Structure 1
Amino acid sequence: MPTIRVNDIDLHYRLDGPQAAPVLVFINSIATDLTVWDAVVPALQNSFGVLRYDARGQGKSTVTDGPYSIDMLGNDLLSLLDSLSLRRVHLCGLSLGAMVGMRLATKHPERIDKLVLCNTAAQIGPPESWDARAEAVRGKGMSAIRTAVLERWLSPEFVAQNKEGTERVLNMAHSSPVNGYIGSCAAIRDMDQRESIKSITAPTIVVAGTADAATPPADARYIANAIPRAIYTELPGGHLSNVEQPTRLGNAVRSFLLNSSATSSL
């Protein structure tokens, strides 16, 4: 898969689907890579160009020293879109990826058609908790977050019933670059979009996981209530809807993007 030079870093990306179709951009969560969307793409790639990428500090993209910020990560995405001559796109982000999506929809509304926000929050505190995560990884490597992945990212039912999927997520997190994780923790720590998202004008759907321990449904409801005319909906499962419910998530995203009168029915 190709890389492209933006803002003095190399971003690893993949673009699938019809060349003339509208483009949907997937934005990853922390400590994952673009393959986390693999099972979601089939529902979408016949109707859309599907752009996935590893953000700064993720996967096969350049790892720079932190701290990162949501603005920095958003500017990287804007530069990627510019380099690919994509003037207006749909965005679908999960967790940290959705935080970047909210910032772009706030600051660059002319670039966003529709917005899908999955398993995320407008602010996650306290700041000390993110410093503690960063320090743990700095001292012990990515194995330090293994328990958090099991308890906060995945539902107990998924862990019990899907050993292969659970191991895939654990391996993805374990292989994530340490400095990229630390930089991304700072971006989440310093983010507060509770007021700014009230200005988002893009049609928006907010997806929560019923058993999401990292960003519970209450966080998603706040976002849906803050963004004018946003749709709120839930999927069974934990923090990674793209892993636990990929088909249902993909179908819901496709329906929302194609239908001007999308509903919350999943």
Structure 2
Amino acid sequence: MHLFDTGEVRLHYRVDGPESGPTLVFANSLGTDLRLWNPVLSHLPEGLRIVRYDKRGHGLSSCPGGDYHMGALITDAERLLDHLEVRDCVFVGLSVGGMIAQGLAVKRLDQVRALVLSNTAAKIGNRAMWAERIAAVQAGGIESLADAVMERWFSPGFRATPELELWRNMLVRQPATGYAGVCGAISHSDFYTTTASLRLPALGIAGADDGSTPPDLVRETIELIPASRFELIRKAGHLPCVEQPEEYARILTEFLRNVGHI
């Protein structure tokens, strides 16, 4: 585990695997930290250099006050990858991580050779919805909406298991300021035009029971990129890497092989 000072924030990150292998970068969702990807890692091929990080306001990264902007979230990722001398990675972004992925690919094609857009979209929700969520967090903390978030994140079967408490705890222990800040960044973001300009290998992954970014929304976004692929994971909600890690890793590994990354 390490901290990198971008000049604006200190980002907590972790690198697993060899120093010089093909690089796979993971960016996680609103309300989670880099442990989101733990269930998947053991199912991936050996030899990958795996980079994970906590976006600003989440996990062990610093939590600045004030409004957050998607451009700053993208720049955070860009600066971290420059610090780690990452080029030609496959970038896997889930939810807001997928929005960061879209923006970074447009800005830095030298860093990103292929995209995995998981449970995300070019535009998620609307400003009124996000303003309501920010107000709820400011009034009652993340705890006030945690149960509703669990319903969007997970399938009914998973919500009946003891493991649900682990992910609920992860959510409510994120800084409220950081959670609200990222909500604001999402609310003002629309990547339809820029994502449609991308020409690189791309894979879309959706969960059949996703209450945040339903499969049709994910499909609509990935189809903006010519020659992209779409995969649906059943018995999974917004975080299929948690509910179906073996299937998630299988789909991801197949994509890595198809694009010649491994």
Once the two structures are superposed, the pairs formed by residues 206-225 of structure 1 within 5 Å of their partners are 206-225=204-223
- 1:255: how far off? 1.6
Q: Which residue of 2 aligns with 1:183?
A: 181
- Give the conservation status (yes or no) of the 8 Å contact 2:93–2:101: yes
Q: 5+ unaligned residues in a row in structure 1: which ranges?
A: none
The Cα offsets for residues 77-120 of structure 1, whole Å up to 9 and x where unpaired, read as 11001111213311001000001001111222222111111001
Specify whether residues 70 and 45 from structure 1 end up closer, same or farther in structure 2 by C-alpha distance, changes over 3 A only. farther
Secondary structure of the 1:247 match is helix
1:1-266 to 2 correspondence within 5 Å?
1-44=1-44, 46-160=46-160, 162-164=161-163, 166-236=164-234, 237-260=236-259
1:215 Cα deviation from its structure 2 partner: 0.4
Contact 1:44 1:50 in 2 (8 A): no
Secondary structure of the corresponding residue to residue 79 of structure 1:
helix
Once the two structures are TM-superposed, the CA of residue 251 in structure 1 deviates from its matched residue by 1.9
Q: Deviations over 1:215-262 (max 9, x none)?
A: 001111111221111101100110111111112111211121122389
3-state SS, counterpart of residue 195 of structure 1: helix
Indicate the SS of the match to 1:8.
Answer: coil
Q: How has the CA–CA distance of structure 1 residues 261 and 13 changed in structure 2, closer, same or farther, with 3 Å as cutoff?
A: closer
Letter in 2 for 1:238: G
| Amino acid aligned to 1:246 | P
Identity of aligned residues (%): 38
- The separation in 1 between residues aligned to 2:180 and 2:24, in whole angstroms, is 28
Q: AA paired with 1:215?
A: T
Unaligned runs of 5+ in 2: none
Tell me if structure 2 keeps the 8 A contact 1:29–1:97: yes
The count of residues paired between Structure 1 and Structure 2 equals 260
- CA RMSD of superposed structures (Å): 1.5
Q: Tell me, in whole angstroms, the C-alpha distance in 1 between the residues paired with 2:77 and 2:202.
A: 19
AA aligned to 1:3 is L
1:122–1:223 Cα contact (<8 Å) kept: yes
AA of the residue aligned to 1:249: Y
* 8 Å contact from structure 2 (residues 117, 222) kept in 1: no
Task: Report the Cα offset of residue 121 of structure 1.
Answer: 1.3
Q: For residues 248 and 158 of structure 2, what CA distance do their matches in structure 1 show?
A: 16
Taking the aligned partners of 1:86 and 1:179, their CA distance within structure 2 comes to: 30
